[in-house]
Amino acid sequence: MNFQFADADFDPFTLSLPTQDPIPLICDSPHSGVIYPKDFGSCLPASILRSGEDTYVDELWQALPGVGACLLAANFPRSYIDPNREIDDIDINMLAEPWTSALHPSEKTRLGHGLIWRLARKQAIYDRKLEAAEVENRIASYHQPYHAALTQQIDAAYARFGGIWHLNLHSMPANSYEVLEIESDTPLADFVLGDRDGVTCDPALIETIEEFLVGRGYTVARNDPFKGVALIARIGRPDENRHSLQIEVNRKLYMDEDTYEKSSGFNALQESLSRLSAHVAQFVRECI
């Protein structure tokens, strides 16, 4: 799907169902949306605003339905509303009026990347305050439908198989440490696997993915600098056989971060992730 500013309403997500025997492997790309709602009202040019996209992540993982998994992908951009945040993760200073319930802004909000983004590449997204009704509409029209669709797939798989394995799929800018205001002498890895420091999935899941990627020549880090946020925190309950893992891929591997065009490395990375999809699917089959 190509980037566009919408002149009409659109579906908040695309759900790709398994094209062969289903397995309880539920995958989602919450930040790959490239359709910008007509009521966004940002003051930034698209060249800056798009920096929040996980551009092409859903395409990189397009093999998933063919191995029995489902793939849910947001169509709206995370800078408009972020489905990987809780609905009370709001910066009160962005609002033109009081919010009607208690807010619990996180560190992401401090960085300008809460439920409603304040900054893109450290530039203000709005030159105005947002009305509460605007934010409520974004929650009702985009955030809640996305979560409802993901929950439906997870609950159905769990009811059928007695367990689920969830992959939360992302990309990360090559300057992620700088964006997160973290001083580090460690180069950003090609992949970062996040399980919130070991609490959201069976260690065997992260181990099998790490071993596969290292075997194909990629560098892999765990929880550094991304541990996972709202989605895997909500879904990952390994004691109930609900396993959730965040996978971040370094954008330098497959795209130009200034032009948002695919680079020469795109096809090779897509092939690696197609093979990884089959590898994880086999792992899941052996677990059920």
Tens digit of pLDDT for each residue in 144-171? 999 999 999 999 999 999 999 999 999 9
- pLDDT of 1 reads 64
| Span 201-220, pLDDT tens digits | 999 999 999 999 999 999 99
| Span 248-267, pLDDT tens digits | 999 999 999 999 999 999 99
Distance of CA 86 to the CA centre of its chain: 13
| Span 100-141, pLDDT tens digits | 999 999 999 999 999 999 999 999 999 999 999 999 999 999
Q: Which domains does the chain have, with CATH numbers?
A: 4-287 (3.40.630.40)
Distance CA 78, CA 52 (A): 7
Judge whether residue 43 has pLDDT over 80. yes
Q: Residue 280 corresponds to which tokens in the numbers above?
A: 């994880």
Q: Residue 215 corresponds to which tokens in the numbers above?
A: 């075997």
Rg (Cα) of the chain, in Å, rounded? 18
* 232-262 residues labelled b (16+ CB within 10 A) or e (exposed): bbbbbebeebbbbbbbbbbbbbbbebeebeb
Judge whether residue 2 has pLDDT over 90. no
| Span 173-206, pLDDT tens digits | 999 999 999 999 999 999 999 999 999 999 999 9
pLDDT-derived band at 33 (thresholds 50, 70, 90) equals very high
**What integer best gives the mean pLDDT of the chain?**
97
- pLDDT of 175 reads 96
